[in-house]
Structure 1
């Protein structure tokens, strides 16, 4: 009887080994793919006031961010040299945003441009006289772009500012690769003119939400997204001027600056959190050098950037750098595929 139990036990053990041999191999542990870094694109239009140049550059140094400055080239001309610019269909010396205040003012702005570029920031074009080009022809846009490049390249010579930094003209010929239209006002001829004028990207669009910028006809197209804002989470274009109009009807209300700062900060952070915890689409935020509502929107920006740009999985980079990475990736895929 004992022998029978031993035979049965041996048989069961053998059966277990056979079953183990033919069992499904253990499944490898699934690992979720790593998320890409969250990209934040912060830009400034017009880029006039010297104090705001200095303030933004200081913010970048604190946070490791790189910004894009869309410069209006009339700010490289003083009242004495304003005749050097004539917008399409406009008399010489006309501008919707004025000119530089003086030769010294222009010299200081040129130095800020030089310093910002040396620190890795992106210098883009905001055209020259801040005119609405929605009805311009392709020839009109090319004329405006030619004025931008001529004034930028010859800025020191036009105002007899010396010494001109070594390499300035070469820098001026090649540095400006991006454009944002005044008033975000565009037309079909603009997009025909941009590649001919040597631009690589345009940041004049508006989108319903953050999205991947497409590239068409050699131009990468960025768009300021609509983001929820305020007690009712109503969508607003992610730009300080649009918040200014939303909050105070475009009229200064300095007594409410703290409230507006908090609302703007909350809107920026909510939009960021949606992408950071979701698909991680690039988030674009736009500003001006004008301190609307007693600087509410710059105060919100500094608080926001100070919290998010320092994160290990966040990059606050310029449009130029985003385009360069995108195109390098496409080139690598093309070579490897």
Structure 2
């Protein structure tokens, strides 16, 4: 029955019983149902360069965002302490991505980690030596996770850096609850090892588009979505490295930086708008601290975050924030729609 028909029926019934009828008062319609806030989850892999730590934290302060930093623990070891790490199947002191350049660089990075954590950002694990673990056993993964935890917890002592901040070891033991596999390379053994090592989420997946993260075996599994990009709207994983390969074949082409930045921004914004105007599934975007194509992808990120993270009905939050909210049984914050 239409709204006007219901009003007419009500009036006739009232006349029959009370001899009078009253029109609906203004504004008596039920309010539209609240819509969930649009969630955007921005993360960084390896988290090496000090300048990029500072730049990302400044972006967060400008926009109110919280990020996830996937740390590679070899960057907490100097050339003198590199032998503290032994990867599965390797001799000590081996890494696919090198180590910190000096003790001072380790100290500077530890300071940035502490500041980011204090500001509410999520420090997560990207393992240590950035090896492809697709063929590792559960025991291999547990060894790698153990190395990460040991090096993070003891980083000050290992490198002879003083003073160690109060609460550092407690932070190292309990704050890291998330993981992203190097090369996004996963397998059955990884998902057996993650809960055994105390992790709560994994962000190593890839999906055809934004999806709600499922939880299986105690691990919430996030996926970087493939999003349309470029003149032909071909799908690409929403991560700076994949865009770098798409745009310039994985080689530096700074002459195209402005074009690449705009293409990236347009792809991010279109993917965001599709969810913001639609079902509001969380949108995940991944980055590295490397300034590929003369910083094109960071420039796009700053433009994008500066526009969307400041919206009242958008939350740019970390993976840890997201699972903490779900684990607490809290409903996603909603706004009137």
* Structure 1 moving runs of 4+ over 2 Å: 14-23, 25-32
Q: 2:16 aligns with which of 15, 18, 30?
A: 18
> Per-residue displacement from partner, 1:179-217 (whole Å, max 9, x unpaired)?
000000000010000001000100000011111111111
1:283 matches 2:283 = yes
Residue pairs, 1:204-283, within 5 angstroms: 204-283=204-283
Aligned to 2:133: 133
> Per-residue displacement from partner, 1:114-162 (whole Å, max 9, x unpaired)?
0000000000000000000000000000000000000000000000000
Structure 2's unaligned 5+ residue stretches are 1-11, 332-337
Aligned to 2:334: none
Question: Normalised by the size of structure 1, how large is the TM-score?
Answer: 0.91
2: CA distance, partners of 1:163 / 1:189: 38
1:144 matches 2:144 = yes
Offset of residue 31 of structure 1: 3.1
Structure 1's unaligned 5+ residue stretches are 1-13, 332-337
1:58 matches 2:54 = no
Offset of residue 32 of structure 1: 2.3
Larger radius of gyration: 1
The structure-2 alpha-carbon separation of the partners of 1:153 and 1:20, relative to structure 1 and needing over 3 Å to count, comes to same
Question: Normalised by the size of structure 2, how large is the TM-score?
Answer: 0.91
SS of equivalent residue, structure 2 residue 98: coil
Offset of residue 29 of structure 1: 2.4
> Per-residue displacement from partner, 1:3-38 (whole Å, max 9, x unpaired)?
xxxxxxxxxxx9993288699x97962432111100
Residue pairs, 1:1-337, within 5 angstroms: 17-18=15-16, 29-329=29-329
SS of equivalent residue, structure 1 residue 114: helix
The structure-2 alpha-carbon separation of the partners of 1:19 and 1:59, relative to structure 1 and needing over 3 Å to count, comes to same
2: CA distance, partners of 1:15 / 1:260: 67
1: CA distance, partners of 2:308 / 2:322: 18
2: CA distance, partners of 1:17 / 1:40: 55
Aligned to 2:335: none
Aligned to 1:10: none
Aligned to 2:7: none
Q: Do the aligned residues in 1 keep the contact of 2:14 with 2:20 (CA within 8 Å)?
A: no
SS of equivalent residue, structure 1 residue 44: strand
SS of equivalent residue, structure 1 residue 202: strand
The structure-2 alpha-carbon separation of the partners of 1:20 and 1:115, relative to structure 1 and needing over 3 Å to count, comes to same
Aligned CA RMSD, in angstroms, stands at 2.1
Q: Return 14-23 or 56-65, whichever deviates more.
A: 14-23
